[in-house]
């Protein structure tokens, strides 16, 4: 994820980033993003395998020729303007393009596409398709049809229309399929990604996944996908979900511990599976049902590929889970994402975060937590609450990943203004860099010998580039990353890491579940995940 955010211009000498890919003997891709495998599976239901090829741009020459009638492209982050990629490439200069964006441009402007485009139609889809319409690049790249959203219901028809030479609609808005319409993949996907749920239902106003209806994928379907991955050489299975704890949930986000345990043990028991890794989760279920973490730990930690000396597991393994914490301000939380803490109230959010982190850490789960800086209407008072919460987490084992608010198309906050690095206040910069101090400290054990280089690099970066690009507001927060003396920094910053002041929040012994009987805490339409099969579904957000 981080490599995708590097500036393309310098990527090769900052890291050993490689854009080379593994190929099958016939030159097709050995593995590709899961969404593209879903499209391939849909096409294979209608067309013969010899008429379809799934390949990387470097093999276009081999697979795109005079008889090609349609080309489909998967776009994860085509212009590099999704959360992290947009921010981190900017640290290297004003016009730095991220690896993500540069690679997409290299693909979509490939000479082979140009040469043959007069006899095929070009369809682009994927989670980042919205970026192309937002930046008005569809005509520039001669894209005939842009598919925004889930494509189970439309992909095969679009490809059929293209084959018949019929004109395609310029854009198509995808719709959530019924779970039965999601096909089993026919070939391996990157990182052994296997979907276990689709959509969410908690209804956060900034989130594009909130637009997808929620559904759990049946266990048989999941296991068939796992076996397919393993059969083609994968030894790691990555469970793709927006929230692990939504899997086969009961009404009102009730965590289904037996179903989750069965899922994990069944996947781990498939011969050839060495590692099982999880993607996203939320904090509230951890606090409400800590027994779920106990139940999943043998597989989630025992079969994780991550290791850290702070883990008490015999092989020092730890489970990594992405959790969106977003803000420490109950006011902003209430305004934009109150479903995320259900059954707890927004006012309980700091307690939920601290208690959940404590439960996870005690069982060797070290989450990667994302935060959003600059939510619409964020004030200094909100930022101070976020800093207070962050400070209370100073001894926790987790990585903190700051992102800036980006209005994603079609979300409820889609028309709001994007937050820009140059506009950050000193408090927001302090938050940004305190996150990075935590994250770098967590992983510094791997590179103890280069810690002094960080410290030295900070003033060099600030005077040569940082101050020019972003102004003086960033200064003291940046120096905190390099562990410069607190007796100097605390005069300029809000938090004081010299140990003189106790944190404003502490880990609660328990977090009481409020009585929601009088009035539901989140609107009914945000419970799309909880509908019985066949019940009509309403749009989640």
Sign of CA dihedral 132, 134, 135, 139: positive
Residue 128 binds ligand B12 (CB under 6 A): yes
Residue 456 CB, shortest distance to ligand B12, in Å, is 27
Please give the residues from 341 up to 370 whose contact with ligand B12 meets the rule CB under 6 A.
Answer: none
Q: Residues binding ligand B12: what is the number (CB under 6 A)?
A: 40
Q: Which is nearer to ligand B12, 4 or 323 (CB)?
A: 4
Residue with tokens 């904090």: 283
Residue 34 binds ligand B12 (CB under 6 A): yes
Structure tokens at 52: 């379809």
Residue 324 binds ligand SF4 (CB under 6 A): yes
Residue 24 CB, shortest distance to ligand SF4, in Å, is 33
The answer to whether the beta carbons of residues 398 and 368 sit under 8 Å apart is yes
Residue with tokens 């498939």: 270
Binding partner at 384 among ligand B12, ligand SF4, none, C-beta below 5 to 8 Å by kind: none
Considering only residues 152, 225, 326, 430, which one is a binding residue for ligand B12 as defined by CB under 6 A?
152
Relative to beta strand 171-173, strand 275-278 is unpaired
Residue 263 CB, shortest distance to ligand B12, in Å, is 17
Residue 176 binds ligand B12 (CB under 6 A): no
Considering only residues 340, 475, 480, 483, which one is a binding residue for ligand SF4 as defined by CB under 6 A?
340
Q: How far is CA 282 from CA 80, 287, 382, 438, in A?
A: 26, 10, 21, 20
Residue 190 binds ligand B12 (CB under 6 A): yes
Give SS3 for 403: strand
Can you list the alpha helix ranges (DSSP code H) found in 337-379? 349-362
Tell me the per-residue interface mask from 219 to 248 with ligand B12, x by CB under 6 A, - otherwise: ---------------------x-x------
Q: How far is CA 285 from CA 144, 162, 249, in A?
A: 44, 46, 11
Residue 155 binds ligand B12 (CB under 6 A): yes
Q: Which is nearer to ligand SF4, 131 or 311 (CB)?
A: 131
Part of the chain binding ligand SF4 (CB under 6 A), chosen from 113-121, 202-210, 271-279, 528-536: 202-210
**Bridge partner list, 533:** none
Residue 138 binds ligand SF4 (CB under 6 A): no
Residue 210 binds ligand SF4 (CB under 6 A): yes
Structure tokens at 438: 């935590």
Q: Which is nearer to ligand B12, 226 or 354 (CB)?
A: 226
Part of the chain binding ligand B12 (CB under 6 A), chosen from 54-62, 120-128, 261-269, 304-312: 120-128
Residue 214 CB, shortest distance to ligand SF4, in Å, is 9
Residue 6 binds ligand B12 (CB under 6 A): no
Please give the residues from 228 up to 267 whose contact with ligand SF4 meets the rule CB under 6 A.
Answer: 242-243
> How many residues are given for the chain?
541
Q: How far is CA 107 from CA 55, 81, 110, 111, in A?
A: 11, 17, 5, 9
Distance CA(174)–CA(16), nearest Å, equals 37
Residue 379 CB, shortest distance to ligand SF4, in Å, is 22
Residue 326 binds ligand B12 (CB under 6 A): no
Q: How far is CA 304 from CA 300, 316, 513, in A?
A: 6, 10, 32
Residue 72 binds ligand B12 (CB under 6 A): yes
Residue 134 binds ligand B12 (CB under 6 A): no
| C-beta atoms surrounding 268 within 10 Å | 18
Distance CA(345)–CA(396), nearest Å, equals 23
Distance CA(95)–CA(105), nearest Å, equals 15
Sign of CA dihedral 221, 227, 232, 237: positive
Residue 151 binds ligand B12 (CB under 6 A): yes
Distance CA(248)–CA(410), nearest Å, equals 27
Residue 125 binds ligand B12 (CB under 6 A): yes
Part of the chain binding ligand B12 (CB under 6 A), chosen from 51-59, 72-80, 268-276, 487-495: 72-80
Half-sphere exposure of 224 (CA within 13 A, CB side): 10
* Among 246, 257, 259, 255, residue whose Cα is nearest residue 200: 246
* Residues contributing to the site for ligand SF4 (CB under 6 A): 200, 202-204, 207, 209-210, 242-243, 282, 324, 337, 340
* Residues contributing to the site for ligand B12 (CB under 6 A): 1, 4-5, 33-36, 38-39, 72-74, 76-77, 82-85, 100, 123, 125-128, 147, 150-152, 155, 189-191, 193, 195, 208-209, 240, 242, 279, 408
């Amino acid at each position: 994820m981080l490599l995708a955010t590097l500036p393309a211009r310098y990527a090769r000498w900052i890291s050993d980033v490689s854009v080379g890919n593994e190929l099958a003997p016939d030159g097709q891709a050995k593995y590709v993003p899961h969404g593209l495998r879903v499209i391939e599976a849909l096409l294979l239901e209608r067309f013969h395998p010899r008429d379809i090829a799934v390949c990387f741009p470097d093999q276009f020459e081999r697979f795109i020729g005079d008889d090609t009638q349609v080309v489909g492209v998967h776009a994860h982050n085509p212009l590099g303007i999704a959360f992290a990629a947009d921010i981190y490439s900017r640290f290297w200069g004003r016009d730095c393009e991220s690896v993500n964006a540069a690679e997409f441009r290299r693909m979509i402007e490939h000479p082979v596409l140009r040469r043959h485009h007069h006899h095929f139609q070009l369809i682009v889809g994927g989670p980042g398709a919205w970026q192309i319409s937002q930046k008005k690049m569809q005509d520039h790249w001669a894209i005939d049809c842009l598919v925004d959203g889930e494509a189970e219901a439309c992909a095969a028809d679009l490809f059929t229309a293209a084959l018949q030479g019929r004109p395609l609609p310029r854009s198509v808005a995808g719709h959530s399929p019924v779970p039965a319409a999601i096909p089993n993949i026919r070939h391996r996907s990157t990182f052994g990604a296997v979907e276990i749920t689709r959509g969410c239902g908690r209804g956060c106003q900034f989130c594009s996944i909130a637009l997808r209806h929620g559904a759990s994928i049946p266990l048989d379907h999941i296991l068939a996908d796992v076996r397919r991955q393993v059969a083609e050489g994968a030894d790691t299975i990555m469970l793709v979900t927006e929230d692990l704890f939504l899997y086969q949930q009961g009404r009102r986000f009730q965590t289904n511990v037996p179903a989750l345990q069965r899922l994990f043990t069944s996947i781990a028991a498939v011969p050839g599976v060495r590692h099982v890794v999880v993607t996203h989760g939320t904090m509230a279920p951890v606090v409400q049902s800590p027994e779920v973490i106990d139940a999943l730990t043998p597989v989630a930690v025992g079969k994780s590929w991550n290791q850290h000396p702070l883990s008490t597991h015999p092989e020092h393994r730890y489970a990594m889970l992405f959790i969106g914490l977003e803000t420490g301000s109950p006011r902003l939380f209430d305004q934009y994402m109150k479903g995320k803490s259900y059954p707890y109230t927004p006012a309980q959010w700091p307690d939920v975060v601290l208690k959940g982190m404590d439960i996870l850490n005690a069982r060797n789960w070290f989450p990667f937590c994302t935060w959003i800086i600059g939510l619409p209407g964020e004030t200094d008072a909100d930022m101070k609450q976020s800093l207070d919460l962050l400070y209370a987490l100073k001894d926790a084992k987790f990585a903190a990943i700051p992102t800036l608010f980006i209005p994603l198309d079609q979300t409820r906050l889609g028309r709001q203004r994007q937050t820009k690095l140059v506009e950050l206040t000193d408090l927001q910069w302090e938050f940004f860099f305190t996150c990075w101090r935590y994250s770098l400290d967590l992983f510094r054990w791997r590179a103890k010998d280069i810690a002094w280089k960080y410290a030295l690099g900070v003033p060099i970066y600030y005077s040569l580039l940082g101050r020019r690009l972003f102004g003086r507001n960033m200064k003291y927060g940046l120096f905190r990353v390099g562990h410069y003396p607190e007796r100097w920094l605390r005069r300029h910053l809000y938090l004081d890491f010299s140990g003189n002041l106790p944190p404003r929040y502490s880990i609660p012994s328990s977090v009481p579940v409020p009585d929601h009987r009088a009035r539901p805490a989140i609107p009914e339409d945000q419970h799309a995940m909880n509908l019985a099969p066949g019940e009509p579904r309403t749009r989640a957000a």
